[in-house]
Structure 1
Amino acid sequence: MPAETAPVAIVTGGARGIGLATALDLSRKGYRIALADLDGPDLAAAVGRVGEGTLALPGDVGAFAAVQEQAATVLARFGRIDVLVNNAGISQPKTLVEISEDEYDRTIAVNLKGCFNWCKAVAPAMLEAGRGRIVNVSSVSANTGGARSAVSKFAYCTAKAGILGMTRALAKELAPAVSVNAVCPGSIETALTSGLIAANREAITGTIPLGRIGTPEDVAVVIAFLATVEPNYLTGEIIDVDGGQWIN
């Protein structure tokens, strides 16, 4: 496929962890990539890893007007948007008693409103083209609540649960042109969670039927499946990627 006609994927929170693993996977599948993340050395390094032609979108996913401008930049550069992966998120370890209003608002702004901002920004182009895939990254904590030892507590869980409602609703609103699905990672070892996991590896592993902690690549392969599988007859689905840790 000529480079100028290759499909285009936007990955938010793409500078590290699950986002970067997803961008690398989609790039290997022939997608042109736009990486949205906070400006800094991690974003620059990620663009270098994903490869020539990767578009950096530095900024805050919680800023509505900025996201609108970034989506316009992607369209101006590539002429199309085929896939949106809403992966950007921040942790929030404070409990209800400890957290301030500003800290709660910021958690919701990045983890939930950021997802809305990007869906709002790309949906018109996808609908006009008659095609599109949106994959939202939630968390098993949306269904289980945060454990006492978890990196994030109730505010994070609240935002991630909101993503599941948004996913199901948008799957109906944007059908049949655009599919909208979500993944819920479980215990995944990233820069954010590595300290906690290192201190509790044996105990955590003992709760996972597949017998190991997950990697960003374990999640990325599922996101890439939802973003690229043909034919596609999935929308509004929530897939846990947790090694069976939270089998219902």
Structure 2
Amino acid sequence: MSASAPVAIVTGGARGIGLATALALAEKGHRIALSDLDGPDLAAGIARLEAAGATVLPLPGDVSAFARVGAHAATCLDRFGRIDVLVNNAGISQPKSLVDISEDEYDRTIAVNLKSCFNWCKSVAPAMLAAGRGRIVNVSSVSANTGGARSAVSKFAYCTAKAGILGMTRALAKELAPAISVNAVCPGSIETALTSGLIAANREAITATIPLGRVGTPEDVAVVIAFLATVEPNYLTGEIIDVDGGQWVN
């Protein structure tokens, strides 16, 4: 891949929506910096990207750690000389209700799902602003607007963090313009390793609520993220796009 090819950082990129997004951006000619916890999933994700012909820089570690994220951004700049796209996808589920959750569990949910977006935006924005260009795409959830259903894998703490991402997206779209566009996607019922058990047990009932007649895939979300990250000319910023097959259309 060319040394002048654009560079995309994808957090939570080892599997699911993150890996599908990394593959989609690699197919569009981006070199990929893949951020995730160190372990077998990250190694497998890197191997899959490299098998597809992508140039990959692994960035192992906790996205909620500000100093670690700053160091990773610096490593990416040192290696590639540029950062064109940031996809804030990293997140964890939190199934506990208000009466059951501990303070530490709540803080961890907010740190991984919301603070990580601040960490990465703060770390890459200066380079993007200096270059006069950049795309940031934040992955939220339809539950940011609807709240978690009783059957959902995540409840109020997750919804709180994902709603915060929407506020951050709108605010940064204004603050970082015109150099950097900032948009968000809100996946609906997407079948991943995290949700596959729940979906398998309730597939018929879930599908009945989706006008397009099927549960979504990581690739359904990745194609929208890749569009926001690469479309030219670009006249979109501060937008929130639901990727839910019409399930929550209003």
Q: TM-score range with shorter-chain normalisation?
A: over 0.9
Give the CA deviation at 1:234.
0.0
Distance, in Å, in 2 between the alignment partners of 1:195 and 1:114 is 27
Letter in 1 for 2:13: G
Partner residue, 1:45: 44
Q: Structure 2: how far apart are the matches of 1:178 and 1:47?
A: 28
Matched to 2:30, the amino acid is Y
- 2: CA distance between counterparts of 1:53 and 1:241? 28
Identity score, percent = 86
Instruction: Work out which of the residue numbers 64, 74, 94 in structure 2 matches 1:62.
Output: 64
SS at match of 1:81: coil
The C-alpha deviation readout for 1:116-147, integer Å capped at 9, x for no partner, is 10000000000000000000000000000000
Q: Deviations over 1:35-57 (max 9, x none)?
A: 00000011011111111530000
**Residue 19 of structure 1: aligned partner:** 18
1: distance between equivalents of 2:24 and 2:169?
A: 23
**AA partner of residue 16 (structure 2):** G
For residue 87 of structure 1, what is the amino acid of its counterpart? N
**Corresponding residue for residue 189 of structure 2:** 187
Aligned residue number for residue 151 of structure 1: 153
Distance across 2 between alignment mates of 1:206 and 1:161: 26
Q: Secondary structure at the match of 2:76?
A: helix
**TM-score, scaled to structure 1:** 0.99
Structure 2 unpaired stretches of 5+: none
**Residue by residue, what CA displacement relative to the aligned partner does 1:177-204 show, whole Å, maximum 9, x if unpaired?**
0000000000000000000000000000
**Aligned counterpart for 1:242 among listed residues 229, 235, 244:** 244
Superposition deviation, residue 232 in structure 1: 0.1
Query: Structure 1 regions of 5+ residues with no counterpart?
Result: none
Q: What RMSD, in angstroms, separates the aligned Cα atoms of the two structures?
A: 0.6
Write the deviation string for residues 220-244 of structure 1: whole angstroms up to 9, x where unpaired: 0000000000000000000000000
Which of 54, 77, 80 is matched with 1:78 structurally? 80
* Partners of 1:10 and 1:37 in 2: CA distance: 11
Letter in 1 for 2:43: A
Write the letter of the residue equivalent to 2:59: L
C-alpha deviations, 1:83-128, integer Å up to 9, x for none? 0000000000000000000000000000000011000000000000
Partner of 1:234, secondary structure, is coil
Structural mapping, 1:220-231, within 5 Å = 220-231=222-233
User: Which amino acid in structure 1 is aligned with residue 19 of structure 2?
Assistant: L
Runs of 4 or more, structure 1, over 4 Å off, are none
With normalisation by structure 2, the TM-score equals 0.98
Q: Does 2:97 correspond to 1:95?
A: yes
What SS does the aligned partner of 1:192 have? coil
Residues in 2 aligned to 1:78 and 1:49: alpha-carbon distance in whole angstroms: 20
Distance, in Å, in 2 between the alignment partners of 1:115 and 1:48 is 26
Match of 1:36 in 2: 35
Return the alpha-carbon distance in structure 1 between the equivalents of residues 167 and 217 of structure 2: 26
Supply the distance in 1 between the matched residues of 2:245 and 2:93 (Cα, whole angstroms). 22
- Residue 206 of structure 2 aligns to a residue whose secondary structure is helix
Task: Indicate whether 1:214 and 2:216 are aligned.
Answer: yes
- For residue 66 of structure 1, give the secondary structure of its aligned residue in structure 2: helix
Return the letter of the residue paired with 1:111.
Answer: N
SS of alignment partner, residue 3 of structure 1: coil
- Partner of residue 112 from structure 2, selected from 95, 110, 113: 110
Would you say how many aligned residue pairs link Structure 1 and Structure 2?
Answer: 247
What secondary structure sits across from 1:191 in the alignment?
coil
Secondary structure at 1:5's aligned position in 2?
coil
